[in-house]
Structure 1
Amino acid sequence: MKPVRLPRRRPPERRLLNRLREVCATIRQRDPSVHGTREALLHPWLTALALHRLGNRLYRRGRRCSARLVALTARHLTQIEIHPGASIGRRVFVDHGAAVVIGETAVVEDDVTLFHQVTLGSVGWWHDGLRPPGSRRHPRVGAGAVLGCGATVLGPVTVGAGAVVGAGALVVHDVPGGARVLSPLAEISEPGTRPAEAADRGDRPAEVSDLAVPQVPQAAPAATAATPVPTATATASAAATAPAAAPAVPRGAVPRPALPAEGRRPPGDRSLEDRAAEPCPGRGPAADGSRSTEERIHDYV
């Protein structure tokens, strides 16, 4: 019987060196601004990935506080926030890396490219609290997918392999493999004109001066010599018949309601005598004529 030879495992130092070479080659391949291995060693993604590997190993062994400390250090050094419980595949590249957030249950498979300000998060604790314990709350990004800068993927959705999520896109549903998810592009208008929607409606292109300074209505022209001058009698009769002009209200002040004319009673108002003739709950017997009007008024008011 021939002896069974087990496969020889590589030393940990050799495996670590091979992984480092692989990461540096990925950085040089996908970042044209890196021109050598020395520059690749200074890339923020290399630091963030190395610290995440350490924090993930501590997290899986139950040392969560230590894993959190390692993740906090990586965030302070690189501005890349990766929860130590997230799963990151091989040859994953994060360009620039500023403001990248990857949640606890997120899964990023091999050969994925993320740009800055990408968020792989959840939809909120008010929804996550209704899920079964241990269920996935964050996205899963398939192999070879590309997420542009500012892309946001929320919830336990799946981005298929080879899919492209454009810059600024918001994804809350599953994306098939090889699909393209693009956000609306910004509209370009000529200087001093309104946007394209106004032109489609047939509106007149507004000048810059029209948009900056509001149009002030012109005052009425002054009376000329041909205008007849009113006599004193006509002026007095017009003043007697015309209603009194309301006083000018300062800007920002609340106008007061006009007072009723003398001798008139506002609608719904009652005199003290009418109010005293009504029964007053909690103030003695009902008004039956046994007491004088003055006494009832005094008790009521």
Structure 2
Amino acid sequence: MAFFANLREDVSNICQKDPAARGPLEVVLCYSGFHAIVIHRLAHWLHKKNWFVTARFVSGVSRFLTGIEIHPAVKIGRRVFIDHGSGLVIGETAEVGDDCTIYHGVTLGGTSFGKGEKRHPTLGRNVVIGAGAQVLGGFTVGDNAIVGANAVVLNPVQANTTVVGIPARPVHKKKDDAKNHSRFNAYGVVPGDKDPYAESLNRLETLVRNQAKTIEQLKKNLEEIRKKNGAFP
């Protein structure tokens, strides 16, 4: 019964988050991310029963059908939304919390080769991973965090924080984020967020431009002084 209750939650969640979804039937029949989650639950159950080869076979079938690769050992919470999903890879020791949203081209991967150790990331609750992002390592991405599209995350991400860039760096954090994170952030993009590195470069560019104008004005002033004094270069 819990299996079907989870299915209903998944379908309802997708209908709420995706404006392109016209109804539950379309989600059930046409959404590869939903199919991948359903098949993964079966593969994960088999893995917990120590039917490892069968579990890997089931996950392989899922990858063939959906283009989404999830290791059967991965722990996935409730109401996880995989949007589009093609090219998504989630490694063996990864964990995905409730209400997370993951887009296509994402890798939740590892940077070490030790068996039995935590090699892949853990996503907290309500995390959004934008398209093409790479989250690499056995660290935690905190609750309500947002990883921007194509970011490369190599270090832990604090809760309620937005990170962007290569390597990823924080660009947004507020103490009171309940209202800010109550809305759904498609593709890990938050309108109005600014990259502090880009802002620093913009300030530097403005400073150089102003200095160039000052130097040009000084040249003109010097030329006028020379003409008045009858001196020539």
In the other structure, the counterpart of 1:172 is 154
Aligned length: 173
Aligned alpha-carbon RMSD (Å):
2.1
**Alpha-carbon distance between aligned partners in 2 of 1:183 and 1:172, rounded to the nearest angstrom:** 11
**Alpha-carbon distance between aligned partners in 1 of 2:145 and 2:136, rounded to the nearest angstrom:** 16
In the other structure, the counterpart of 1:40 is 27
> 1:128 is aligned with what amino acid?
F
In the other structure, the counterpart of 1:52 is 40
Deviation at 1:16, TM superposition (A): 3.1
Relative contact order (alpha carbons < 8 A, sep ≥ 6): 1 or 2 greater? Answer: 2
Per-residue deviation, residues 194-247 of structure 1 (Å, max 9, x unmatched): xx9xx9698xxxxxxxxxxxxxxxxxxxxxxxxxxxxxxxxxxxxxxxxxxxxx
> 1:55 is aligned with what amino acid?
A
Q: If each structure's strand is expressed as a fraction of its own residues, which one has the higher value?
A: 2
Identity among equivalent pairs (%) = 43
- Is 2:98 aligned against 1:110? yes
Per-residue deviation, residues 49-88 of structure 1 (Å, max 9, x unmatched): 1110110111111111100110000001110100000000
Deviation at 1:98, TM superposition (A): 0.5
SS at match of 1:29: helix
In the other structure, the counterpart of 2:86 is 98
In the other structure, the counterpart of 2:163 is 181
Answer with 1 or 2: which has the greater Rg: 1
SS at match of 1:128: coil
In the other structure, the counterpart of 1:19 is 6
In the other structure, the counterpart of 2:124 is 142
Q: Which runs of 5+ in 2 are unaligned?
A: 167-194, 199-204, 213-233
In the other structure, the counterpart of 2:68 is 80
**Alpha-carbon distance between aligned partners in 2 of 1:102 and 1:16, rounded to the nearest angstrom:** 22
* Maintained 8 Å contact 2:34/2:82: no
In the other structure, the counterpart of 2:57 is 69
Matches within 5 A, 1:1-301: 12=1, 15-42=2-29, 43-123=31-111, 127-129=112-114, 133-183=115-165
- TM normalised by structure 1 equals 0.54
Deviation at 1:128, TM superposition (A): 2.5
Deviation at 1:161, TM superposition (A): 0.3
**Alpha-carbon distance between aligned partners in 2 of 1:136 and 1:91, rounded to the nearest angstrom:** 24
> 1:23 is aligned with what amino acid?
D
Q: Which runs of 5+ in 1 are unaligned?
A: 1-11, 188-195, 203-301
Deviation at 1:134, TM superposition (A): 2.1
* Maintained 8 Å contact 2:141/2:158: yes
Q: If each structure's helix is expressed as a fraction of its own residues, which one has the higher value?
A: 2
Deviation at 1:175, TM superposition (A): 0.5
In the other structure, the counterpart of 2:216 is none
